[in-house]
Structure 1
Amino acid sequence: MSLSRREMVAGLGALVTPFAVPRAVAPPPAPAGEPPAVPAGVAPERLARDEDFWRSVARQYRVSADFVNLENGYYGIMPEPVRRAYHRNTDHLNERNSHLLRTAYKAQAEQARQRLAAVLGVRAEEIALTRGGTEALQLLIAGYRRLRPGDAVMYADLDYHSGQYAMNWLRDRRGARVERLVIPEPATRQAVLDAYAAALREHPRVRLLLLSHMNNRTGLVTPVREIVAMARERGADVIVDAAHSWGHLDFTMGDLGADFAVFSLHKWMGVPLGAGFLYVREGRLADIDPAFCDETYPGGDIRSRVHAGTMDVAPVLTVGTALDFHEALGGAVKQARLRFLRDRWVHQVLDVPNVEILTPEEPAMYGTITAFRITGRTSEADNVAITTELMERYRIFTVRRGGPARGDCVRVTPALFTSRDEVDLLAAAVGDLARRTGA
């Protein structure tokens, strides 16, 4: 018989004694319809610890009470105002059919593009909507036209697998060599900078570098601006993968300094599945091929670099409502809360024997995504077993991730609806697992 989340939390105290385990975690009340007002004059770091305020945020989400969802990196669910708008937009699309697509939609899509550009701090003419961050990444990599036979491209072990595959494809497509660097463990800011500097120095023919702002394996946040600058000095362009960082960390495009970047909208901006966009700095568009020689838009229009056919436009129609919710909270407030949740559980297990935290303690190097490893448990099977036990024994949902050079790990991703008690439960469970199953 499976236990509910409430029963699981209430009973865990009998299993784990060194941790303060919450008495119960009840599902939030039925969602309301408006985002809560952020109190004026309260610093984001202070508001991040206000559980009453964040309970009011959690009421904006429909979340299953059957388990604690700490795997929110794959898909960031819509808050209620966005979910309702998406349903209205889906119904409207179905009712109006081709008439909507051939008339009002183009202006509405342009309005969404204008809103996105304003939040990112760029011109609308520098971004093009896609069906997600992966499509945007593949289009920029495949379309990059400055490579010559004998040139090299480079990515790191922690970069997104679909981006790695697309870079590998350039070996046959463009005749490029493919170089790979390993992010050091422990991944301090200086160690990461040194690793990229050494890799670029050792491979002077690198002309294109894939760089994750926040990677999807361990959650490490790289010092993008500095790495972009060192690559530029050596004649290399950088495509920044910001799929996991935008809407999660508080930044604009100017903070990254890159000429090319990709973004997802269904992770931390709460847009329905099926939306993202790519960015090309003004003056660099000629270095990206039009998608499949598409002629729908003129060559000087960035939208010629994307061709998706007839797509589900309801997510695009919902972008404005999602940005309203994001801006009601504010990027700085979201970032502070997400980092607080990470710190809350990580700091309870830092000194637990056999627990390895793969993201550093330097604040600029992480958000809420964090990976842990139990010493000696480095295989895929080991970490699948850990995630299975977390779910079956503690009703906590996480995911195993591969890619780090020292072995597989478990990724933990809280969300805005996650409570302090829920990450306390995770800390207790991880400590219990480490004592029972560590090397």
Structure 2
Amino acid sequence: MHSRRKFFSHMGTVAGTLATLPFFQSDSGKALLEALARQPDATDEDFWRLIQQAYTVSPTILNLNNGGVSPSPKVVQEAVERYNRLSNEAPSYYMWRILDNGREPLRAQLAGLLGSSPEEVAINRNASEALETVIFGLQLKAGDEVVLSKYDYPNMMNAWKQRAHRDGVVLKWVDLDLPMEEESAIAERYISQFTDKTRVVHLTHMINWNGQVLPVRTIAEQARARGIDVMVDAAHSFVHLDFKVEELQCDYLGTSLHKWLCAPFGSGLLYVRQPKIETIYPLFAAPEPDSSDIRKFEHLGTRSFAIEQAIGQAVQFHKLIGSARKEARLKYLRTYWLDQVRDLPGFRSYTPENPDLAGAIANVGFGNRDAGELYDHLFKKYKIHTVPIKWEGINGVRITPNVYTLTEDLDRLVFAIKDYVWSN
């Protein structure tokens, strides 16, 4: 009963914050707030249909490439427009004297989602900027080793290659046979690369190519016991999986907020564990580069205050759904459509079956057929937007639903895939 009262108290606070916004004064918005009272689960299609109505997604093109970038709900779009109009009334006044005052409360909100101190969170524009701040800011010397994988995001690999080229840092590549179903086997691939020269291990929490989740904590504990810094690319795991940063035991984390938080395009977050802040040089010049103040990583010059401040509405919308409910729904959607196509001839999944090692992202192929064929079939004939992936050992199409995706949308996907298999 105490837990139930706490839930309704929390939801009352969130709903009260959102209720004054234009969308939540509409019939659809009011219905969504009322539906939360019945504590809907991952299979409640009536509830998730109301979530869909909170977005402005196309009724004709089925977007199943949310792994690239996700659309924002109406409340976030409205906020961007509102803050942008305000900024244009007198830019230097409203941006720096009014909207800029919202950064500290926003920092606290993001820290709440992450489970960290606000003094460990910097607001920036995307995961690449966040992680490259650390990659280029680490005080490494020639011969220092960095452990990483060729399944990491290309921007991150290229940044590390640049450090190797400029500074003589040694890159040690981990071989992964994706998909992998055993956490211990994955962890051993990384841990076996550690030597007394290893200074950093770079871990992609959820691999963008196929949705494989790495056992970050297991690897991180072994790394930190050896004095090795742990960097986590959480572009696809932050508010996709229900976790707090302390559970990962990492030193640095970067993520894009325009993916699973559905914040405005061009928003991101950098986490640096407090004792490490003073050891990292900022990517953009700051007055005191050796400072222990996390804000030294926010000297970006003029940026869009409208985009930054509208992150707050995205946080509130996410909290309205709830982290645990969101993760359960995303995993349910992946299982829903995969279970209907896995018995088709030539079916091959590049995504783990282990529910602890996957989320919403799945990648499938059929026999040796080129991924581009299935991609073309899905879009040209059925207007289903996905992305073909041909990377290392993967040759499949990545399918990525989000909270606004309904099972009837995935029925359309299943029908299209079956048509592809049986008509070719």
Alignment TM-score > 0.5, same fold: yes
Match of 2:143 among 120, 145, 150: 150
**Matching residue's letter, 1:138:** E
1:365-398 CA deviation, whole Å, 9 max, x = no partner? 1110111122213xxxx22232111101222110
Aligned to 2:68: 74
SS at match of 2:340: helix
Does structure 1 conserve the Cα–Cα contact (< 8 Å) formed by 2:278 and 2:290? no
Aligned to 1:277: 269
**Matching residue's letter, 2:230:** V
Aligned to 1:32: 28
**Matching residue's letter, 1:266:** H
- Indicate yes or no: 2:324 matched with 1:332: yes
Aligned to 1:299: 291
- Indicate yes or no: 2:239 matched with 1:251: no
Instruction: State the alpha-carbon separation in 2 of the partners of residues 322 and 418 from structure 1.
Output: 18
Aligned to 2:171: 178
Unaligned runs of 5+ in 1: 1-29
**Matching residue's letter, 1:75:** V
Report sequence identity in percent: 36
1:49-105 CA deviation, whole Å, 9 max, x = no partner? 111111111110111122211111111111111111111111111113100233123
Deviation at 1:183, TM superposition (A): 1.7
**Matching residue's letter, 1:121:** G
SS at match of 1:400: strand
Aligned to 1:27: none
Aligned to 1:208: 200
Unaligned runs of 5+ in 2: 1-25
Instruction: State the alpha-carbon separation in 1 of the partners of residues 421 and 224 from structure 2.
Output: 44
Aligned to 2:20: none
Q: TM-score, normalised by structure 1?
A: 0.86
- Indicate yes or no: 2:91 matched with 1:97: yes
Q: 1:232 to 1:435 in 2, by over 3 A?
A: farther
Deviation at 1:31, TM superposition (A): 8.5
Higher helix share: 2
Does structure 1 conserve the Cα–Cα contact (< 8 Å) formed by 2:278 and 2:293? no
Match of 2:348 among 353, 356, 363: 356
Aligned to 2:4: none
Deviation at 1:171, TM superposition (A): 0.5
Deviation at 1:430, TM superposition (A): 2.2
SS at match of 1:348: coil
**Matching residue's letter, 1:282:** Q
- Indicate yes or no: 2:338 matched with 1:346: yes
Does structure 1 conserve the Cα–Cα contact (< 8 Å) formed by 2:350 and 2:394? no
SS at match of 1:428: helix
For these two proteins, the number of residue pairs brought into alignment is: 397
**Matching residue's letter, 1:250:** D
Aligned to 1:10: none
Q: 1:138 to 1:279 in 2, by over 3 A?
A: same
Match of 2:180 among 171, 179, 187: 187
Aligned to 2:22: none
Aligned to 2:230: 238
Instruction: State the alpha-carbon separation in 2 of the partners of residues 303 and 107 from structure 1.
Output: 14
Deviation at 1:299, TM superposition (A): 1.6
Deviation at 1:41, TM superposition (A): 7.1
Q: TM-score, normalised by structure 2?
A: 0.88
Deviation at 1:262, TM superposition (A): 0.5
Aligned to 1:26: none
Aligned to 1:388: 376
- Indicate yes or no: 2:249 matched with 1:262: no
Q: 1:91 to 1:292 in 2, by over 3 A?
A: closer
Aligned to 1:3: none
Match of 1:85 among 79, 91, 116: 79
Does structure 2 conserve the Cα–Cα contact (< 8 Å) formed by 1:297 and 1:303? no
Match of 1:166 among 154, 159, 165: 159
Q: 1:38 to 1:197 in 2, by over 3 A?
A: farther
Does structure 2 conserve the Cα–Cα contact (< 8 Å) formed by 1:291 and 1:305? yes
**Matching residue's letter, 1:417:** Y
Aligned to 1:406: 393
Does structure 2 conserve the Cα–Cα contact (< 8 Å) formed by 1:31 and 1:59? no
SS at match of 1:341: helix
Q: 1:231 to 1:52 in 2, by over 3 A?
A: same
Deviation at 1:412, TM superposition (A): 0.5
Deviation at 1:409, TM superposition (A): 2.0
Does structure 2 conserve the Cα–Cα contact (< 8 Å) formed by 1:344 and 1:424? no
Aligned to 1:429: 416
Task: Give RMSD over aligned pairs.
Answer: 2.0
